[in-house]
Amino acid sequence: MLHPPTANTLDSGGGPMIPSFANPAHEAAFKQRYAEQRLRHDGIVLQNAPPLVLLAALRPLIDGDWQPVAISLMEAALFVLLIKALRRRPAAYLRHRSLLLSGVFLEHYTISRLISHIVVSPGCPGPLLAVWRELNLSQLPWNALLSLSLPLPARHAAVTQALLIALATAWLPSLRRDSFQLCPATQGHYQSAANGLANAAACLLPPPLGAALVQRAARLGPSAFFAVHMALQVAVNYGLVLAVICGWELQQRRAFARQRRLAADAAALVRAQRGGVLSLPLLALAFALLWAVLTLAITGAID
């Protein structure tokens, strides 16, 4: 029998833009339902992880590349241990779910970078294949998919995704080296992408800053790689992932409020959802400003 999570557990409260229920008993009941739903869902997702990890190890196994095979076996074993913990001690798993899954996200990204050479081949493919290879090499879509497959409460997802972006940023020099070695022409593609981002951001920024950004972006050279990846990481691994997770949690809380006939709480949740939609232009401006500042202040010092 699962006990309702208490206030000092990791999965307490809503996200930074999601109001909790006014009555503590209702909040505890919602957390109990949320926990039970997550337990069933996590079990389905996690039991598919070891076969997928081992499937990815087939190519290096055939090639006799034993390092990625050993790393893949270690990760598969880690998922098996997590599945056993979920099944044998579900209450303990739920108490520490956010910490456990945050560790899984960070560990999976690190391992993916260590064995990323097994998913790409040298050469310069066409534009669409080049974009896909760069995304695959960076693991950006897979990190976002994993975060959405095992969603954390919004407030914990905000912290975890920030840590994931920090980890990805630390790997960028290595990622750039691998990318440019696979295809020297990639540098030009990143410069074009940085120019496009700068022009788009300049439309949202004050003219002096926008003009300076466009001029600086045109001279980025190899640093365009960092500018583009910083934009993608913030937009996808933070903005997109958190928007989806907050939307899911708001929907669950609204459904719970309707079921319990909690009119005041339901109205507060509707206001929060509308406020999130209305704040999109402001968020776009903040993103453009952040990217402009990072591009102007950091990328010139990286090379």
- Please give the share of the chain, as a percent, with pLDDT higher than 70: 83
Q: Is the pLDDT of residue 242 over 80?
A: yes
Q: Give pLDDT tens digits for 123-157.
A: 777 778 888 888 888 889 989 999 999 999 888 89
Mean pLDDT for the stretch of residues 238-259: 86
Q: Is the pLDDT of residue 55 over 80?
A: yes
Instruction: Please indicate whether residue 173 or residue 58 has the higher confidence score (pLDDT).
Output: 173
Amino acid 294: pLDDT:
65
Using CA atoms, how far apart are residues 250 and 256, in angstroms rounded to an integer?
Answer: 10
- Degrees to nearest 5, angle at CA 224 with 110 and 199: 125
By C-alpha distance, which of 163, 148, 132 is closest to 233? 163
- Domain chopping of the chain, boundaries: 24-302
Mean pLDDT for the stretch of residues 228-252: 87
The answer to which of 70-79, 93-102, 105-114, 202-211 has the lowest mean pLDDT is: 202-211
CA 1 to chain centre: 32
Instruction: Please indicate whether residue 231 or residue 127 has the higher confidence score (pLDDT).
Output: 231
How many secondary structure helices (H) and strands (E) does the chain include?
16, 0
Amino acid 145: pLDDT:
93
Using CA atoms, how far apart are residues 4 and 31, in angstroms rounded to an integer?
Answer: 7
What average pLDDT is seen over the chain? 81
Amino acid 63: pLDDT:
78
CB within 8 A of 62, min separation 6: which ones?
Answer: none
Residue 3's pLDDT band (cuts 50, 70, 90): very low
Could you give phi then psi for residue 291, rounded to 5 degrees? -65, -40
pTM higher than 0.85: no
Q: Is the pLDDT of residue 7 over 60?
A: no
Instruction: Please indicate whether residue 39 or residue 127 has the higher confidence score (pLDDT).
Output: 39
Amino acid 276: pLDDT:
63
C-alpha torsion 197→238→166→76, nearest 10: -120
Using CA atoms, how far apart are residues 94 and 101, in angstroms rounded to an integer?
Answer: 11
Burial 85-112 (b: 16+ CB within 10 A, else e): ebeeebeebbbebbebbbebbbebbebb
Amino acid 144: pLDDT:
93
Amino acid 282: pLDDT:
63
